C-alpha cells in the first residue's frame, strides 16, 4: 500500500500512477520522468525537453550509443562464454553507472564519494575513458586537508564528510595520479592548481569526526597534493618501522596500530 509515510526506519519509494484504456490490439507509448535538479526552473526545462516520445527516444538512443562505444573499447576472448559476457561490457558498465555515477554499491549505498573507493575504480577505466580518472584525481585533490590527510568519504551536495585516522586513503591519490600519467603520457595535470580543505583537527582520542569542511584559500598543484599525501602518511616508530595508523583497507588489521 502506498501510504505516503516517510518516517525513519521505513523503506520509502517514489511511485507514479496513471490509468490507461486500450482497445484490443492497440498500443500506446508513455514517457515517465524521474530526476533531480538544483531548482524548479531547471526542472521545468528538463521536463519540457523530454516531454515528447520522440525526444525521449532520441535521448535513449544517445545513451545506447555512448554505452556501446564506451564498453566496446576492450574486448576479451576466453574459452568461457559466461566470462566473456562478464568482462565485455558488464563489469565496466557497473563501474561507470554504479560506482562512479550512482555510488550505490553494497558497502557504499548512500551516494557519497569515497576518497579511496572511486580512485580505485577509475584505474579499471584507463583504457576505456581516461578522462574519468583525470577528473577523479582533480576531485580527490580538492578533498585533501591542508594537513595532508583527506576526507574518507563525503556527500557531493552538502559537502559533509568524515575526517579519520585511516592511513591508506591519502596514498591512493599519488598512486592513481602516477598510473594516469604513465598510462596516458599526459603530465599537464600535475601542474593544475587545486585548493585544499580546512576543518576541525581530530583530538588525540578521536578516531573520526563528521562535518562540512571549508574550502581553503591555500592552493597547490596536483603534484604537491601528492607529495603532501606521502608526507602525511610517513610516520615511523622508535625502531624506524612505518606505523600503520588506522589501516582500514585491510579490515582485519584496522585500528591494530591506531596508537
Looking at residue 248, its pLDDT comes to 66
Q: What is the pTM of this model?
A: 0.85
pLDDT computed for residue 131 by the predictor: 96
Query: CA–CA distance from 229 to each of 84, 163, 168, 194, 197 (Å)?
Result: 38, 14, 10, 14, 14
The pLDDT value given to residue 250: 64
Average pLDDT per 10 consecutive residues for the chain, totaling 259 residues: 74 80 93 87 93 93 95 94 93 94 83 94 96 98 97 92 90 97 97 97 91 97 97 88 75 74
Looking at residue 22, its pLDDT comes to 93
Q: How many Å apart are CA 119 and CA 117, to the nearest integer? A: 6
- The yes or no reply on domain 112-259 and CATH 1.50.10.10 is yes
Query: What is the domain partition of the chain in residue ranges?
Result: 112-259
SS3 state of residue 103: coil
The pLDDT of residue 172 is: 96
Tell me if residue 166 falls in helix, strand or coil. strand
Amino acid at each position: 500500500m502506498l501510504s505516503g509515510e516517510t518516517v525513519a526506519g521505513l523503506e520509502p519509494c517514489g511511485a507514479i500512477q496513471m490509468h490507461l484504456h486500450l482497445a484490443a490490439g492497440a498500443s500506446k507509448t508513455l514517457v515517465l520522468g524521474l530526476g533531480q535538479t538544483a531548482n524548479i526552473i531547471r526542472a521545468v526545462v528538463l521536463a519540457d525537453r523530454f516531454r515528447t516520445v520522440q525526444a525521449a527516444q532520441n535521448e535513449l538512443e544517445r545513451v545506447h550509443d555512448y554505452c556501446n562505444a564506451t564498453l566496446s573499447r576492450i574486448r576479451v576472448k576466453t574459452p568461457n562464454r559466461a566470462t566473456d559476457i562478464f568482462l565485455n561490457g558488464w563489469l565496466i558498465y557497473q563501474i561507470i553507472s554504479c560506482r562512479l555515477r550512482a555510488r550505490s554499491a553494497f558497502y557504499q549505498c548512500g551516494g557519497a564519494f569515497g576518497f579511496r573507493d572511486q580512485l580505485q575504480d577509475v584505474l579499471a577505466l584507463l583504457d576505456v575513458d581516461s578522462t574519468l580518472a583525470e577528473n577523479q584525481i582533480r576531485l580527490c585533490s580538492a578533498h585533501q586537508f591542508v594537513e595532508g590527510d583527506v576526507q574518507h568519504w563525503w556527500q557531493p551536495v552538502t559537502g559533509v564528510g568524515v575526517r579519520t585516522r585511516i592511513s591508506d586513503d591519502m596514498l591512493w591519490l599519488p598512486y592513481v595520479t602516477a598510473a594516469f600519467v604513465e598510462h596516458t603520457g599526459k603530465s599537464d595535470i600535475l601542474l593544475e592548481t587545486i585548493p585544499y580543505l580546512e576543518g576541525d583537527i581530530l583530538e588525540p582520542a578521536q578516531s573520526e569526526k563528521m562535518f562540512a569542511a571549508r574550502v581553503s584559500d591555500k592552493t597547490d598543484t596536483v603534484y604537491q597534493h601528492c607529495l603532501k599525501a606521502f608526507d602525511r602518511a610517513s610516520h615511523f616508530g622508535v625502531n624506524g618501522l612505518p606505523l600503520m595508523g588506522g589501516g582500514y583497507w585491510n579490515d582485519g588489521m584496522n585500528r591494530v596500530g591506531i596508537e
